[in-house]
Amino acid sequence: MQISRSHTTCAAATALLLGLTSAGPAAADADSPTVTPATGGNGVPLVFGHFENVAAIGYQTTEFIVSGNAHSYATGAPLTPDGMWNSITADATTAPYTTRVVVHTPIKAKQFNGTVYVEWLNVSGLADASPDWQHGHIQVAREGAAYVMVSAQAAGVNQLKCAAAGGLCPAPGDPVRYASLSHPGDSYSYDIFSQAGQAIADGNVLGSLVPKRIIAMGESQSAGRLVTYVDAVHPLVDVYDGFVIHSRGAGGAALSQAPLANVPVPLAAIRTDLASPVIQFQSELDVANSRLLARQDETPSGKFRLWEVAGTAHFDQYGLVVGLTDTGNGQGEIDNLAFMQDPPSAPQPGLLECALGINTGPMHWVFNAAVHWINLWVRLGLAPPIAPRLEATTAPGVSPVVYASDDNGNTLGGIRTPYVDVPIAKLTGTGNGPAPGAPPISANCVLFGQTVPFTEEQLAALYPNHGTYVVRFFSAALQAVFSQYLLLPDALHLLQAAAQSDIAK
């Protein structure tokens, strides 16, 4: 990516590079928005489910108000399942918007590595949440990257303006700080996200730091919007240099929606003519929910990688609890291993009560590797390994998906870690739900999978003594590092946690 470029010129050049004819995507600019510092109100940015102690990892936080005029998008042909949508155009009319971005940057400017990760904030709970920052902040800080969170959708913007909880406001916002915010509807969210990226490229939100690479990421409903963004919008504007699409379904988000004409995207692969790399990161539940239909082939030289991670849920104990305080000193691994031995069903008492112990699997640690690899791929052209698929015994399109499992009940195939190869519990991405009489929010427990600890008898049969457990754990961790799905610093912390545990003592 060349910062502060002419996007009209770049879009035309991209079209030539991709071999697109006049029937391909029409060139459209990503406009440069107006950017001003956010001030007033409670004095702090508001993001839910968010690691906030950024000073502990050497970071600082700023917030900006971003405003401009955004396009929606239309298509002149059906949106085919292959994602090769070459008839997308930006509507001539625009709608004004004002949103915000939250920016985490290294306190010491010399530590900045030139990479900026940009998260499309998740609004499944009708408020801005940051699941990818929650899971990936340790690796972001190791690299010295900047991290920008974008309120791209109407639900998040509307909640920020709420004076009190109630109705469509799940929690109070900060109506003084965010009084100027206004969103014209999610049909415009794609261009708002493009313009946020352009503001970064223009040097308007990073202070003295100069961005060299801008990488987009988003989880769950945000992943669905990124699928549509990659296939429909990215070829037009070329703002982002790479993508991490985390926990997607079989399709993408609607290209446009009410009050504009609804253009749904029920099934969509990632288009195969991209010059920008994409890592699609899937848990066991994501693969099951997509009925295996989000899978697609990879080639060593292609720009797409699919990572399916054994023993993981759509969201988990790390994201809900451990990651809120994890500063990368190894305590997070120790805490998570302890949770695995005694998994709580209600990590947020009174708010979330699940019928079973929540998944304590390895998503965070493998996600760190995905963050590491997308940066290498964009910066140096070094592609990640092609990962094995989870072993399903059902055909694509069949529901429910059934996985093959080992004698311990853990799913076979996929990306392996010591959590599933040297297990102390059965870890699955499916099978949980709300406890009887739980509050309505506990319906989300279906996303959190299960941890079923092994009995003392099971542990004794697997590991005659603690030393045996640690040696086998070490071997599995080393294999995961050699396979390039676990980073060495994380492996060392996991080994520390295993050695300090009381397993098989």
Mean per-residue pLDDT for 219-231? 98
Q: Which helix (DSSP H) or strand (DSSP E) does residue 189 occupy?
A: helix 189-201
CA angle (362 as vertex; 359, 367 as ends), nearest 5: 120
Report the C-alpha gap between 314 and 184 in whole angstroms.
Answer: 30
Question: Residue 30 — pLDDT band, cuts 50, 70, 90?
Answer: confident
Q: Which residues contact 181 (CB under 8 A, 6 or more apart)?
A: 65, 98, 99, 100, 151, 157, 160, 161
Residue 426 has pLDDT above 90, yes or no: yes
Structure tokens at 156: 């998040």
Mean per-residue pLDDT for 478-495? 98
Question: Residue 212 — pLDDT band, cuts 50, 70, 90?
Answer: very high
pLDDT at 351: 82
- Per cent of the chain over pLDDT 70 is 94
What one-character-per-residue DSSP string does 105-149 give? Answer: EESSGGG--SEEEEEE-B-TTSS-B-HHHHHHHHHHHHHT-EEEE
pLDDT at 347: 84
pLDDT at 29: 53
Flag the least confident range among 264-273, 304-313, 433-442: 433-442
Summarised one tens digit per residue, pLDDT across range 19-28 is: 333 233 333 4
pLDDT at 357: 96
Residue 15 has pLDDT above 50, yes or no: no
Residue 14 has pLDDT above 90, yes or no: no
pLDDT at 260: 95
pLDDT at 452: 97
Q: Which residues pair with residue 48 across a beta bridge?
A: 129
What's the whole-number average pLDDT of the chain? 93
Mean per-residue pLDDT for 160-189? 96
Under a CB-based contact definition with an 8 Å cutoff, are residues 413 and 310 in contact?
Answer: yes
Higher pLDDT, 348 or 194: 194
Summarised one tens digit per residue, pLDDT across range 91-133 is: 999 999 999 999 999 999 999 999 999 999 999 999 999 999 9
Mean per-residue pLDDT for 414-431? 98
By C-alpha distance, which of 268, 275, 278 is closest to 307? 278
Residue 4 has pLDDT above 90, yes or no: no
Residue 499 has pLDDT above 90, yes or no: yes
Mean per-residue pLDDT for 263-282? 97
Note the pTM of the prediction, 2 decimals: 0.94
| Distance, CA of 463 to chain centre | 35
Task: List C-alpha distances in Å: 440 to 354, 359, 447.
Answer: 11, 20, 14
Report the C-alpha gap between 459 and 426 in whole angstroms.
Answer: 12
